[in-house]
């Protein structure tokens, strides 16, 4: 492997995974990803992120129940392009990965410092690549009622739940969705004039 292309290889290999094998990865591999994440830059170096690693089966079950209740309410009202996409891809309010994954990483952000949301999601990019490097998979699941989940786990005041990352060994037959070609997303100096 060309050492100088590790990031690209990880990015190419990584796909979203919603089904996990029964093996429990080492906690240190999960923490590895958070060690990397906390080195990300942030507005005013505020490091607005807080990570909660959940492996208690009871707590995962409570999180799943709360998320699925909110999903049912969301699915009942979602319309348009997004609703069509969910139906077409076979998404339902059931989120079994929230109990099947050996770990859940709940990512919170303190909504105060400048660019707190941008900084936190940039750090989530680090998490995904670091997990992939250790052979772990995830999906950036965004619960429809983040506030309820934050209360369930005693999130500190002012911290907003951004995503739940279920983490485990991949056992999802779905292929990676295809990406656009580089020439479709990159231009030089000026965007070409659209006809």
Binding to a copy of itself, residues 74-133 (CB under 8 A): 81-82, 85, 114-115, 117-119, 121-126, 128-130, 133
Lookup: tokens for 182? 């580089």
Which element (helix H / strand E) includes 35? helix 27-37
Query: What's the gap between Cα 66 and its chain centre?
Result: 18
Least distance in Å: CB of 106 to a copy of itself?
9
Nearer to a copy of itself, 68 or 150 (CB): 150
- Window of 18-26, 32-40, 65-73, 167-175 that interacts with a copy of itself by CB under 8 A: 32-40
* Binding residue for a copy of itself, selected from 26, 35, 96, 111, defined by CB under 8 A: 35
Least distance in Å: CB of 1 to a copy of itself?
7
Least distance in Å: CB of 119 to a copy of itself?
8
Kindly state whether residue 23 participates in binding a copy of itself, applying the rule CB under 8 A: no
Give the burial string for 61-93 (b: 16+ CB within 10 Å, else e): ebbbebbbebbeebeeebeeeeeeeeeeeeeeb
Q: 135: closest CA among 51, 50, 35, 15?
A: 15
What is the distance between the alpha carbons of residues 100 and 148, in angstroms, rounded to a whole number? 21
Contacting a copy of itself within 122-181 (CB under 8 A): 122-126, 128-130, 133-134, 139-140, 142, 153-156, 162-163, 177, 179-180
- Window of 33-41, 68-76, 94-102, 166-174 that interacts with a copy of itself by CB under 8 A: 33-41
Least distance in Å: CB of 75 to a copy of itself?
14
Torsion of CA 111, 114, 117, 121, to 10 degrees: -130
């Amino acid at each position: 492997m060309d050492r100088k292309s590790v990031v690209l290889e990880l990015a190419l290999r990584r796909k979203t995974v919603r089904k996990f094998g029964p093996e429990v990865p080492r906690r240190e591999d999960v923490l590895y990803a958070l060690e990397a994440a906390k080195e990300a830059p942030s507005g005013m170096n505020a490091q607005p992120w807080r990570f909660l690693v959940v492996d208690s089966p009871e707590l995962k079950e409570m999180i799943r129940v709360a998320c699925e209740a909110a999903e049912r309410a969301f699915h009942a009202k979602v319309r348009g392009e997004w609703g069509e996409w969910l139906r077409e891809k076979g998404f339902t309010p059931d989120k079994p990965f929230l109990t099947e994954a050996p770990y859940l990483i709940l990512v919170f952000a303190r909504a105060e410092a400048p660019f707190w949301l941008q900084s936190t999601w940039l750090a989530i990019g680090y998490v995904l690549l670091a997990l992939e490097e250790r052979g772990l998979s995830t999906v950036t699941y965004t619960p429809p009622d983040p506030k309820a989940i934050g209360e369930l786990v005693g999130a500190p005041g002012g911290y907003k739940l951004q995503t739940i990352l279920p983490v485990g060994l991949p056992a999802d037959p779905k292929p990676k969705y295809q990406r656009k070609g580089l020439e479709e997303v990159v231009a030089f100096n000026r965007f070409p004039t659209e006809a």
